[in-house]
Amino acid sequence: MTLTPRDLGMNRTISRRDFFDGIAVSTLGSVVSGGTAEAARQAAPPPGPSGFRGGGPEALSVPHALRDGRFWQYAGPPEPTGESYDLVVVGGGLSGVSAAYEWRRRRPGASVLVLDNHDEIGGQARRAMFHRQSVRGRTGGAEAGLADAVMCDEESFGADTLVRLTGDWVSRLPLAARARDDLRRLRHDPPDWFPGLPAEAKQERLAGLTYSAFLLEVCGAHPEVERFCRSMSCPEWGYDTRALGAIDAWGTGYPGFGGLGLETDKPSRYNSPTVRKQWGIGDPDVYLFPEGNQALVRAMVNRMLPDPGSPDRAGDRVRFRLSSPVVSVRDGEGAASVAYFDGHRVRSVAAGSVVLACWSAVIPYLVPELPAAQREALGEAVRVPLVHASVRVRDWDAWRRAGVRRVRWTGAYWSLVELDPPERPGGPAEVHLLATPCRAELGPRAGAVAGRRELIRTPYEVLERTIREQLTRLLGPAGFDPARDVEGITVNRWGHGNAPEYCRPWHAFYPDGPFPADVARRRFGRIAIAGSDAAPAARADAAVTAAFRAVEELIE
């Protein structure tokens, strides 16, 4: 049954918010256009200064103008504010705030200015993240009979089939009989695919393959097995198994490796840094979409600012200047100069030291005097795009009737849909969705670039329609009505989402090096480089460690 925009509730008055890379561009009026998704994609104009928040290239206009060589054609020379600071931090995310905090800890009387292009402190720390989670102590979850499930969707298998992961769930999959047999074998009794090879050689073979290639070329699995497993890696990696290394799939417990006889008490030298770091750690008991890193950012900010409600108050030793994208950083004899755009003109401040805690790919445009090798290495940090959506629904009755809580989709736009049950029954609930635009078949780097371009061109209307359609496909049989039950939608598009991480088979130099990040993060006079790109890894601890390292370099 094809639902019209009115059936889906596209004409209803609800709260709608859209952000691009955390930057609020505008606010969407209460309704969106009611055309088809394809028509909206082709005809919808780019967002203007009013309407909805984010969702278009305007959100990155200054960085893109720098990249394209257009900014300085129209901007005047920097006008000094007359301000001078011991430290200027570029970037107000977790790494930037950590750098400011550590500097003040080591030099309590220092003056610090943090510049950020967002309109709120936190940067990527404000991004909602999916986590494996415990359901203990919650209203929903196992006690309410809710189970994890997989939607074998129309995009992959020609029709939607919801399969709860309980009992002999493989027998209920809409796969060919041989595909189901292959999946059972991979899960329960896989052979040694590389007989006669020592463990190191087996790991080296895995390091040269993606997980999809392992399934198809090594295991000879039915193609429907690969299609069923493809989206398994999306929540953790931001791309599907056509880009996930087989060595990391082995390291995180994917099907098919049990017969290789590899030791499980330690990781392989070929495993990515995150897999190695998390080796042997069981799934933590964390709740869905916790405040997480933003709570850490807020705690540090509250300790540094006398009045967090006035982050840029004259006379304070620490100041945060928001909506101020940095456009130039120059090292000089007596001090560095940091220039930013305040929305009207370019202003500059003097700095005794500078920590760049922004995206590495932006740094060559801010500091063009960097050595060519360092500029090239910084450009290697291509971030993986992500889209998170939060939907407020009237109640969660349809979820209880369907008996599901967390649903992986095998091929639809939103690869994960998850319920966050309310603390008390009967009230509104939050539903969270994840999409991974990376074109994984191209590899993480090229796929991220292609996916980001597509994400920038996608109108908000298309995203809302896909959200409503997938919720209806999932819960419609259990009584869900998108026009009646959806009360609000927030979309967070992270065109520059996960920091890149060295992993096989895409980085042949890993794990022996040399690593581009070692060159990229070199100190340049009074300028040090932080941020998770400098690790590189999409982890909070990596962002904090990079900040502390940058401070240490400048203070030593």
Q: What is the 3-state secondary structure (H, E, C) of 146-206?
A: CEEEEEECHHHHCCCEEEECCCCHHHHCCCCHHHHHHHHHHHHCCCCCCCCCCHHHHHHHH
- SS3 category, 487: strand
- Bridge partners of 341? 346
As a whole number of angstroms, the distance between CA 535 and CA 98 comes to 15
17-21, 403-407, 447-451, 518-522: the lowest-pLDDT one: 17-21
Q: Which residues contact 454 (CB under 8 A, 6 or more apart)?
A: 437
As a whole number of angstroms, the distance between CA 384 and CA 444 comes to 7
More confident residue, 546 or 19: 546
What's the confidence (pLDDT) of residue 34?
A: 39
What's the confidence (pLDDT) of residue 22?
A: 58
- SS3 category, 18: strand
Instruction: Convert 95-124 to b/e letters by CB count within 10 Å (16 or more is b).
Output: bbbbbbbbbbeeeeebbbbbbbbbebbbbb
Phi, psi of 88 (to 5 degrees): -115, 125
More confident residue, 441 or 75: 441
Residues 245-294 have pLDDT tens digits of: 999 999 999 999 999 999 999 999 999 999 999 898 765 433 333 345 77
pLDDT band of 134, cuts 50, 70, 90: very low
- SS3 category, 240: coil
What's the confidence (pLDDT) of residue 292?
A: 57
Write the CA distances from 180 to 148, 544, 553, integer angstroms: 19, 45, 56
What's the confidence (pLDDT) of residue 283?
A: 54
Task: Give the 3-state secondary structure of 56-110.
Answer: CHHHHHHHHHHHCCCHHHHCCCCEEEEEEEEEEEECCEHHHHHHHHHHHHHCCCC
Q: What would the mean pLDDT of 208-221 be, rounded to a whole number?
A: 98
Helix, strand, coil share (%) of the chain residues, nearest 5: 35, 20, 45
Question: What letter does residue 214 receive in the DSSP assignment?
Answer: I
- CA dihedral over 63, 68, 73, 77, signed as positive or negative: positive
Is 254 within 8 Å of 211 (Cβ atoms)? yes
Is 53 within 8 Å of 28 (Cβ atoms)? yes
What's the confidence (pLDDT) of residue 539?
A: 86
Helix 540-555 and helix 94-106, axial crossing angle in degrees, nearest 10: 40
**Would you call 446 exposed, middle or buried from its count of C-beta atoms within 10 A (0-12, 13-18, 19+)?**
middle
Going by C-alpha positions, the residue among 254, 237, 228, 225 that lies closest to residue 150 is: 228
As a whole number of angstroms, the distance between CA 141 and CA 248 comes to 29
Q: Which residues contact 306 (CB under 8 A, 6 or more apart)?
A: 313, 316
Q: Tell me which amino acid residue 109 is.
A: G
Write the CA distances from 150 to 231, 411, 418, 435, integer angstroms: 10, 11, 11, 15
**Would you call 154 exposed, middle or buried from its count of C-beta atoms within 10 A (0-12, 13-18, 19+)?**
middle
pLDDT value at 142 more than 50: no
Q: Are strands 404-409 and 486-498 parallel, antiparallel or unpaired?
A: unpaired
Two structure tokens written together for 373:
């090798």
Q: Are strands 346-356 and 15-20 parallel, antiparallel or unpaired?
A: unpaired
Task: Give the 3-state secondary structure of 473-485.
Answer: HHHHHHCCCHHHH
Question: Counting every residue, how long is the chain?
Answer: 556
What's the confidence (pLDDT) of residue 435?
A: 97
Is 301 within 8 Å of 312 (Cβ atoms)? no
As a whole number of angstroms, the distance between CA 180 and CA 170 comes to 6
What's the confidence (pLDDT) of residue 497?
A: 87
Going by C-alpha positions, the residue among 340, 338, 350 that lies closest to residue 83 is: 350
Cis peptide before 428 (omega within 30 of 0): no
More confident residue, 11 or 122: 11
In which element (H, E) is residue 419 found?
A: strand 414-420
- % of the chain surpassing 90 pLDDT: 73
Is 434 within 8 Å of 234 (Cβ atoms)? yes
pTM summary value? 0.86
What's the confidence (pLDDT) of residue 123?
A: 62
More confident residue, 226 or 499: 226
Q: Work out the widest C-alpha separation in the chain, in whole angstroms.
A: 74
Question: What letter does residue 360 receive in the DSSP assignment?
Answer: G
Question: What letter does residue 326 receive in the DSSP assignment?
Answer: E
- CA dihedral over 172, 468, 48, 90, signed as positive or negative: negative
Q: Are strands 336-341 and 326-330 parallel, antiparallel or unpaired?
A: antiparallel
As a whole number of angstroms, the distance between CA 540 and CA 549 comes to 14
pLDDT value at 48 more than 50: no
Provide the total of helices (H) and of strands (E) in the chain, helices listed first.
22, 15
- SS3 category, 4: coil
What's the confidence (pLDDT) of residue 41?
A: 32
131-145, 307-321, 478-492, 529-543: the lowest-pLDDT one: 131-145
Q: What would the mean pLDDT of 456-472 be, rounded to a whole number?
A: 95
Q: What would the mean pLDDT of 120-136 be, rounded to a whole number?
A: 49
Two structure tokens written together for 418:
């998850």
As a whole number of angstroms, the distance between CA 518 and CA 498 comes to 19
Q: Tell me which amino acid residue 44 is.
A: A
